[in-house]
Amino acid sequence: MIYKKYLNISEVSKILQLKEHTIRYWDSIDPKTNKYRIDGISTKSKGGTRYFNKENIKKLEKLKKILYEGNKQNYSIKLADRILSSKSKIQTTNDQNSNNLQQSDNYKKIEQILNKIRILLKNEDQI
């Protein structure tokens, strides 16, 4: 089986079991705000053809789960966009907190080593 880096809209539609017009709507510009309804859903060629990579497909899957929870459909795409955005912000914040903890641990280790060196130097001076 050949795995492609980018899939077209009909391939993604079959994989996610979504209608093509639904994906196009999610990926279109809202006339009221002149912004994409959901940013980052596809990559477009110069001719306007939509292509989808793994990240785009994951985002579409999450959006589908949010909008079509259970048998009940939630029609608020703005709410879904906020949820997707907040999850990515939370992930970024968690990653930053993890990095800060690692840096803090490194500083503590360095401080401990410096203290041991100071003690050794003091002991050497006393000899």
| Residue-level pLDDT at 69 | 72
Of 82, 77, 84, 87, the closest CA to residue 29 belongs to 77
Residue 4 confidence (pLDDT): 83
Site of tokens 């989808």: 52
| Overall domain count for the chain | 1
Q: Pick left, alpha or beta for residue 17 (phi over 0 → left; psi -120 to 50 → alpha; otherwise beta).
A: left
Residue 123 belongs to some domain of the structure: no
122 located within any domain? no
Q: Give the CATH number for residue 72.
A: 1.10.1660.10
Is residue 63 domain-resident? yes
Choice among 10-14, 23-27, 72-76 with the minimum mean pLDDT:
72-76
Residue 111 domain flag: no
- Nearest-5° Cα angle at 23, 60 to 57: 25
**Under 8 Å between Cβ of 14 and 22:** no
| Whether pLDDT at 58 is above 70 | yes
More confident residue, 12 or 79: 12
Which residues span the domain enclosing 59? 7-96
What is residue 96's predicted lDDT score, i.e. its pLDDT? 58
Residue 16 lies in a domain: yes
Asked whether 29 and 36 are in contact (CB, 8 A), the reply is: yes
In a domain, 118, yes or no: no
In a domain, 68, yes or no: yes
Does residue 71 have a pLDDT over 50? Answer: yes
Q: What is the pLDDT of residue 53?
A: 92
* pLDDT tens for each residue of 97-126: 566 666 677 777 777 777 777 677 766 556
Q: Is the pTM of this model over 0.75?
A: no
